[in-house]
Chains A and B, each alone.
Chain A
Amino acid sequence: MTSPVDPRSDSAPESSARRHKLILAALVACTLVMVTLALLPLGTGLKVGLVLTVATLEACLVAGVLMHLVEERKLIVSILVLTGIFFVSLLLLPILSEMDHARHFFK
């Protein structure tokens, strides 16, 4: 059932356990950084940008390591890349259609 690219080989569990403890620390740190950034007296645009960047980093850790996406098969990655394109398009649609409001929001 395993393959060369599959992280689920018999030797994987021990190293994976250590790696996941490091991931736990990284995720907690990311959350604390997000909260700290949100409480700092920064401009709205800068704050939104920084906090969402840290959130994206945190999400990448979960998807990449915990969900094994970095070692996942091409088929799955292709499906997710396609989904990602549609997802980003969905998020951009309201911003593009409300450019005036967006400029006001991010100033």
Chain B
Amino acid sequence: MSAHAHAMTIPHTVEPRPDTGLYNARLGLWLFLASEVMLFGALFSSYILLRVGADTWPQRQLSIPLGTLNTFVLILSSISVVMAWLSLKRKDFGRFKLWQGATVLLALLFITVKSFEYHDKFTHYYVQTRDGREMTGHLEGKPFNLSLARLRALPNPPAEIVFHPDAPAHGPAAGQAAHSEPLRLKLADLVKLEAFGPWRGTFYAIYFVLTGLHALHVLGGILVLGYFWGPGSRMWFTEPERFTNRIEVAGLYWHFVELVWIFLFPTLYLL
């Protein structure tokens, strides 16, 4: 190795630093996770502030079965990412590919389920009429994120909408919907029509912020884990120990993503 090439070598990618006893990526990742704790901590703090300051707090707005399913998916992925790292420790590259691939697929499954949940909220509507009726339900054809302003801005706005109210036992307007038969509501009679997006109150605002930020972390994880499963895995054949360390720190990050969900699930879905 020439003197120039030696000078370009990144130190402590495998061997620990004498002062910290850790290789650099591991220490760096833990410091990054500490900053992430504070980021999510600020948002959880906001959640507490909003919740204890609210006169009423909507409960059971989200699908518990889907939330539970996603929790199981993340738990499984957390185990599979450890198994991928252990496979490398056993010098079994084939098994690593299997476990790492499973982790990426489970992460994709999590995002898919989450997107179904988001879609369900953006096709669920709150309607208020001029005679004071308030209802929640679905529009005919389940259009995505319509509003009264958008409907009226259409080149040929419809004269009426077909609305399927929720059964009386569901939604904030429980008991106010006379029946769950489809209703024909004149556009001129509507005061408000909006989907259950972040604008539907503090619960939905904090729900979309918290789960949206978490979903971004999942997407980041998919990119990193997917890279190490695919093109990044070539490093195994040239620098196996360094690659094993990379998988370890990626796994630490992935465990943190699961840790955040462990608190998001009960606070948003169950309590």
Contact = CB atoms under 8 A, between A and B. Distances in A.
A and B from one complex: yes
Interface string B29-57: 01100100110011011101101111000
A101 B263 contact: no
Nearest to A58: B262
Contacts of B49: 94, 97-98
A80 B52 contact: no
A35 B68 contact: yes
Given A47-B271, A51-B266, A75-B22, A91 B45 contact: yes
Interface in B250-264: 252, 255-256, 258-259, 262-263
Contact of B41 (A21, A24, A90): A90
Contacts of B41: 86-87, 90-91
Interface of A: 1, 3, 8, 10, 12-13, 16-17, 20-21, 23-24, 27-28, 31, 34-35, 37-39, 47-48, 51-52, 54-55, 58-59, 62-63, 66-67, 73, 75-76, 79-80, 82-84, 86-87, 90-91, 93-95, 97-98, 101-102, 104-105
List the 3 shortest-distance A-B pairs measured between CB atoms, nearest first: A94-B49, A38-B270, A101-B52
Contacts, number: 135
B75 A87 contact: no
B34 A80 contact: yes
Contact of B71 (A31, A63, A86): A31
B38 A83 contact: yes
Nearest to B253: A67
Given A55-B263, A66-B255, 9 more contacts: A1-B16, A13-B86, A34-B270, A66-B79, A67-B252, A75-B21, A79-B34, A82-B34, A90-B38
Contacts of A38: 64, 266, 269-271
Contacts of B78: 27, 62, 66
Contacts of A48: 271
Interface residues of B, number: 53
A93 B76 contact: no
Contact of A1 (B15, B38, B44): B15
Contact of B89 (A3, A12, A21, A101): A12
14 contacts: A1-B245, A20-B86, A27-B78, A34-B265, A66-B255, A67-B252, A67-B256, A75-B22, A79-B30, A80-B34, A90-B41, A91-B41, A91-B44, A104-B52
B208 interface: no
A55 B44 CA distance: 14
A27 B179 CA distance: 42
A24 to B, nearest CB: 5
Contacts of B14: 1
A31 to B, nearest CB: 5
A88 to B, nearest CB: 9
